[in-house]
Amino acid sequence: MKTPVKPALEESGDAMTRRRVLSWLSGFGLFGSLIITALSNLIFIKPRATYGQPNRFSIGKPEDFPPGARVSLDTRRVCIVRDGDKVAAISTTCTHLGCIISVSETGFSCPCHGSRYDQDGNVTGGPAPRALPWFQVSLAPNGEIEVDKDTEIEAGNYLRV
């Protein structure tokens, strides 16, 4: 009887068999998924806090706001009111649903749902449940006006400059 002839590669043991290829691919896949999992966990652990604008900020010198001025700073959501030698900061965020309100001839008006406020931020019409908050205004050592949106004050309290 004749014995079957084996190729030379199989005899030397360096042959890449199907089992060895599948084992190598499986090991590579498991190692790759381990690396991806480790990186994902490291990214997940790092806090993704996004900090908004500071709630205490400078708006400029008192001379920048002439008497009788009502300047709306939309990026800060505040309106600076100058009445003679007094300055105040009133929120321009509607107390109904948080829309940015605009300064009008009679006070403030919300374009979203029609809330109306008088010059002092008191509700005169619409669905707004309460008046606009007033924020603490102070004079910094460098002579600039600072607004602190973390501190609400009673309506009608002005800073004398």
Q: Is residue 53 part of a domain?
A: no
3, pLDDT greater than 80: no
Q: Is residue 2 part of a domain?
A: no
Give residue 114's pLDDT band: very low, low, confident or very high (50, 70, 90).
confident
Summarised one tens digit per residue, pLDDT across range 97-108 is 888 998 888 889
pTM of the prediction? 0.65
Identify the burial level of 32 via C-beta atoms within 10 angstroms of its C-beta, where 0-12 means exposed, 13-18 middle and 19 or more buried: exposed
Are residue 95 and residue 35 in the same domain, yes or no?
Answer: no
| Domain of residue 79, CATH code | 2.102.10.10
Tell me the residue range of the domain where 25 lies.
8-45
